Chains A and B, each alone.
Chain A
Amino acid sequence: GIQVEQSPPDLILQEGANSTLRCNFSDSVNNLQWFHQNPWGQLINLFYIPSGTKQNGRLSATTVATERYSLLYISSSQTTDSGVYFCAVKQGGSEKLVFGKGTKLTVNP
Protein backbone atom coordinates (compact mmCIF):
# COMPACT_ATOMS: atom_id res chain seq x y z
CA GLY A 1 0.00 0.00 0.00
CA ILE A 2 0.91 3.65 -0.17
CA GLN A 3 3.56 4.93 2.23
CA VAL A 4 3.39 8.37 3.84
CA GLU A 5 6.49 9.85 5.44
CA GLN A 6 6.55 13.03 7.44
CA SER A 7 9.60 15.02 8.43
CA PRO A 8 10.94 16.08 10.76
CA PRO A 9 9.46 13.81 13.44
CA ASP A 10 10.11 16.44 16.11
CA LEU A 11 10.55 20.18 15.88
CA ILE A 12 11.23 22.66 18.68
CA LEU A 13 10.88 26.38 17.98
CA GLN A 14 10.91 29.66 19.78
CA GLU A 15 7.76 31.72 19.53
CA GLY A 16 7.84 33.87 16.42
CA ALA A 17 9.92 31.47 14.33
CA ASN A 18 8.83 30.03 11.00
CA SER A 19 8.78 26.33 10.10
CA THR A 20 8.21 23.96 7.22
CA LEU A 21 6.78 20.47 7.64
CA ARG A 22 7.08 17.97 4.83
CA CYS A 23 4.95 15.03 3.71
CA ASN A 24 6.19 12.59 1.07
CA PHE A 25 3.97 9.87 -0.39
CA SER A 26 4.94 6.89 -2.47
CA ASP A 27 2.17 6.82 -5.07
CA SER A 28 -0.34 9.08 -6.79
CA VAL A 29 -3.16 10.36 -4.61
CA ASN A 30 -6.46 12.09 -5.21
CA ASN A 31 -6.87 13.64 -1.77
CA LEU A 32 -4.46 15.07 0.77
CA GLN A 33 -5.31 16.66 4.08
CA TRP A 34 -3.28 18.29 6.84
CA PHE A 35 -4.48 18.05 10.43
CA HIS A 36 -3.41 19.41 13.79
CA GLN A 37 -4.11 17.10 16.71
CA ASN A 38 -4.92 19.04 19.84
CA PRO A 39 -3.94 17.88 23.35
CA TRP A 40 -7.36 16.25 23.79
CA GLY A 41 -6.90 14.12 20.70
CA GLN A 42 -9.18 15.78 18.20
CA LEU A 43 -7.92 16.15 14.64
CA ILE A 44 -8.47 19.70 13.51
CA ASN A 45 -8.67 20.28 9.76
CA LEU A 46 -6.03 22.62 8.43
CA PHE A 47 -6.07 22.08 4.69
CA TYR A 48 -7.72 19.90 2.09
CA ILE A 49 -5.15 20.22 -0.67
CA PRO A 50 -4.80 17.47 -3.30
CA SER A 51 -2.81 19.93 -5.41
CA GLY A 52 -1.79 23.58 -5.55
CA THR A 53 -1.31 26.13 -2.79
CA LYS A 54 -3.65 27.41 -0.11
CA GLN A 55 -3.27 29.92 2.69
CA ASN A 56 -5.16 30.42 5.92
CA GLY A 57 -3.77 33.15 8.13
CA ARG A 58 -0.29 32.22 9.33
CA LEU A 59 -0.54 28.78 7.77
CA SER A 60 -0.12 27.82 4.16
CA ALA A 61 0.27 24.55 2.30
CA THR A 62 1.52 23.44 -1.07
CA THR A 63 1.04 20.04 -2.71
CA VAL A 64 3.03 19.04 -5.78
CA ALA A 65 1.16 15.90 -6.73
CA THR A 66 3.42 15.04 -9.69
CA GLU A 67 6.44 14.97 -7.38
CA ARG A 68 4.52 13.30 -4.53
CA TYR A 69 5.03 15.72 -1.70
CA SER A 70 3.25 18.37 0.29
CA LEU A 71 4.59 21.14 2.53
CA LEU A 72 2.94 22.89 5.46
CA TYR A 73 4.33 26.31 6.37
CA ILE A 74 3.78 27.89 9.75
CA SER A 75 4.86 31.50 10.09
CA SER A 76 5.32 33.54 13.27
CA SER A 77 4.63 30.46 15.38
CA GLN A 78 2.73 30.75 18.67
CA THR A 79 2.66 28.46 21.69
CA THR A 80 -0.86 27.43 20.71
CA ASP A 81 0.59 25.92 17.51
CA SER A 82 2.17 23.18 19.61
CA GLY A 83 0.90 19.69 18.99
CA VAL A 84 1.17 16.96 16.39
CA TYR A 85 0.65 17.69 12.70
CA PHE A 86 -0.53 14.88 10.47
CA CYS A 87 -0.62 14.51 6.74
CA ALA A 88 -3.16 12.01 5.35
CA VAL A 89 -3.68 10.84 1.79
CA LYS A 90 -6.33 8.93 -0.11
CA GLN A 91 -6.11 6.87 -3.26
CA GLY A 92 -8.47 5.64 -5.91
CA GLY A 93 -12.07 4.88 -5.10
CA SER A 94 -11.50 4.08 -1.44
CA GLU A 95 -12.38 6.59 1.27
CA LYS A 96 -9.60 5.23 3.45
CA LEU A 97 -7.13 7.85 4.65
CA VAL A 98 -3.52 6.74 5.14
CA PHE A 99 -1.74 8.83 7.74
CA GLY A 100 1.89 9.65 8.26
CA LYS A 101 3.40 9.27 11.70
CA GLY A 102 3.16 13.00 12.32
CA THR A 103 5.47 15.87 13.24
CA LYS A 104 5.45 16.85 16.90
CA LEU A 105 5.86 20.61 17.13
CA THR A 106 6.77 22.35 20.37
CA VAL A 107 6.73 26.14 20.43
CA ASN A 108 8.41 27.64 23.48
CA PRO A 109 7.60 31.12 24.76
Chain B
Amino acid sequence: KAGVTQTPRYLIKTRGQQVTLSCSPISGHRSVSWYQQTPGQGLQFLFEYFSETQRNKGNFPGRFSGRQFSNSRSEMNVSTLELGDSALYLCASRQGRPLNTEAFFGQGTRLTVV
Protein backbone atom coordinates (compact mmCIF):
# COMPACT_ATOMS: atom_id res chain seq x y z
CA LYS B 1 0.00 0.00 0.00
CA ALA B 2 1.53 3.31 -1.08
CA GLY B 3 2.20 5.91 1.58
CA VAL B 4 1.50 9.61 1.57
CA THR B 5 3.08 11.32 -1.42
CA GLN B 6 4.02 14.98 -1.45
CA THR B 7 5.30 16.87 -4.45
CA PRO B 8 7.55 18.58 -5.11
CA ARG B 9 10.14 17.65 -2.49
CA TYR B 10 12.03 20.94 -2.78
CA LEU B 11 11.12 24.39 -4.03
CA ILE B 12 12.87 27.71 -4.25
CA LYS B 13 10.68 30.75 -4.82
CA THR B 14 11.11 34.50 -4.79
CA ARG B 15 9.32 36.86 -2.42
CA GLY B 16 5.97 37.90 -3.82
CA GLN B 17 5.47 34.77 -5.90
CA GLN B 18 2.89 32.12 -5.17
CA VAL B 19 3.37 28.38 -4.75
CA THR B 20 1.21 25.26 -4.90
CA LEU B 21 2.07 22.09 -3.03
CA SER B 22 0.42 18.73 -3.59
CA CYS B 23 -0.42 15.81 -1.33
CA SER B 24 -1.81 12.41 -2.28
CA PRO B 25 -3.10 10.53 0.78
CA ILE B 26 -3.02 6.81 1.43
CA SER B 27 -5.56 5.00 -0.70
CA GLY B 28 -8.91 4.95 1.08
CA HIS B 29 -8.05 7.85 3.39
CA ARG B 30 -10.36 10.81 3.05
CA SER B 31 -8.81 13.29 5.49
CA VAL B 32 -5.78 15.40 4.63
CA SER B 33 -4.16 17.86 7.04
CA TRP B 34 -1.33 20.27 6.42
CA TYR B 35 1.37 21.39 8.87
CA GLN B 36 4.17 23.93 8.72
CA GLN B 37 7.46 23.22 10.48
CA THR B 38 9.96 26.00 11.20
CA PRO B 39 12.88 26.09 13.66
CA GLY B 40 11.27 28.90 15.62
CA GLN B 41 7.63 27.81 15.78
CA GLY B 42 7.92 24.05 15.52
CA LEU B 43 5.11 22.07 13.94
CA GLN B 44 1.91 24.07 13.46
CA PHE B 45 -1.45 23.02 12.06
CA LEU B 46 -2.56 24.82 8.90
CA PHE B 47 -5.87 23.17 7.91
CA GLU B 48 -7.68 19.90 7.44
CA TYR B 49 -9.88 18.72 4.58
CA PHE B 50 -12.36 15.88 4.56
CA SER B 51 -14.50 14.95 1.57
CA GLU B 52 -13.55 18.15 -0.27
CA THR B 53 -14.58 20.37 2.68
CA GLN B 54 -12.33 22.30 5.02
CA ARG B 55 -13.09 20.91 8.44
CA ASN B 56 -10.60 22.85 10.59
CA LYS B 57 -8.27 25.79 10.12
CA GLY B 58 -5.25 26.91 12.09
CA ASN B 59 -4.13 30.42 12.88
CA PHE B 60 -2.49 31.41 9.61
CA PRO B 61 -3.15 34.41 7.35
CA GLY B 62 -5.47 34.20 4.38
CA ARG B 63 -2.47 33.90 2.04
CA PHE B 64 -2.50 30.22 2.99
CA SER B 65 -5.30 28.29 1.35
CA GLY B 66 -6.06 24.78 0.34
CA ARG B 67 -8.48 22.51 -1.40
CA GLN B 68 -9.26 18.85 -1.76
CA PHE B 69 -10.37 17.01 -4.85
CA SER B 70 -12.89 14.21 -5.23
CA ASN B 71 -10.06 11.64 -5.26
CA SER B 72 -8.93 13.00 -1.84
CA ARG B 73 -5.74 14.55 -3.22
CA SER B 74 -5.12 17.94 -1.68
CA GLU B 75 -3.27 21.07 -2.66
CA MET B 76 -2.20 23.99 -0.57
CA ASN B 77 -1.41 27.38 -1.98
CA VAL B 78 0.60 30.22 -0.53
CA SER B 79 0.25 33.57 -2.26
CA THR B 80 2.50 36.62 -2.02
CA LEU B 81 5.33 34.64 -0.47
CA GLU B 82 7.32 36.13 2.39
CA LEU B 83 10.75 35.12 3.65
CA GLY B 84 9.11 33.77 6.80
CA ASP B 85 7.17 31.23 4.76
CA SER B 86 10.38 29.26 4.29
CA ALA B 87 9.61 25.99 6.01
CA LEU B 88 9.04 22.29 5.72
CA TYR B 89 5.39 21.67 4.80
CA LEU B 90 4.06 18.30 5.89
CA CYS B 91 0.86 16.60 4.88
CA ALA B 92 -0.95 14.03 7.03
CA SER B 93 -3.39 11.41 5.85
CA ARG B 94 -6.12 9.75 7.93
CA GLN B 95 -9.14 7.63 7.31
CA GLY B 96 -11.25 10.55 8.53
CA ARG B 97 -14.15 8.44 9.77
CA PRO B 98 -14.44 7.56 12.52
CA LEU B 99 -12.57 10.39 14.21
CA ASN B 100 -9.39 9.72 16.23
CA THR B 101 -7.70 7.51 13.70
CA GLU B 102 -3.94 7.41 13.31
CA ALA B 103 -2.26 10.09 11.16
CA PHE B 104 0.44 9.20 8.63
CA PHE B 105 2.78 11.83 7.20
CA GLY B 106 4.40 12.36 3.86
CA GLN B 107 8.06 13.20 3.29
CA GLY B 108 7.31 16.90 3.14
CA THR B 109 8.01 19.76 0.78
CA ARG B 110 10.89 22.00 1.74
CA LEU B 111 10.12 25.54 0.58
CA THR B 112 12.80 28.21 0.49
CA VAL B 113 11.76 31.79 -0.19
CA VAL B 114 14.57 34.11 -1.32
Q: Which residues of A contact B (CB under 8 A)?
A: 30-31, 33, 35, 40-43, 45, 48, 50, 86, 88, 90, 93-102
The dominant DSSP class at the B interface is strand
In the assembled complex, how far is the CB of residue B31 from the closest CB belonging to chain A, in whole angstroms? 6
Candidate in B43, B88, B108 with the most chain A CB atoms within 10 angstroms:
B43
Name the interface size band of chain B.
20 to 34
Contact of B48 among A35, A96, A98 (CB under 8 A): A96
Q: Across the interface, which residues of B come within 8 angstroms of A45, CB to CB?
A: 102-105
| Given the contacts A31-B100, A41-B88, A90-B100, A98 and B106 also touching, CB distance less than 8 Å | no
* A interface secondary structure, majority: loop
Rounded to whole angstroms, the CA-CA distance of A45 and B107 in the bound complex is 12
Would you call B48 and A95 a contact (CB within 8 A)? yes
A43-B90, A86-B43, A101-B42 known; A96 and B103 CB under 8 Å?
Answer: no
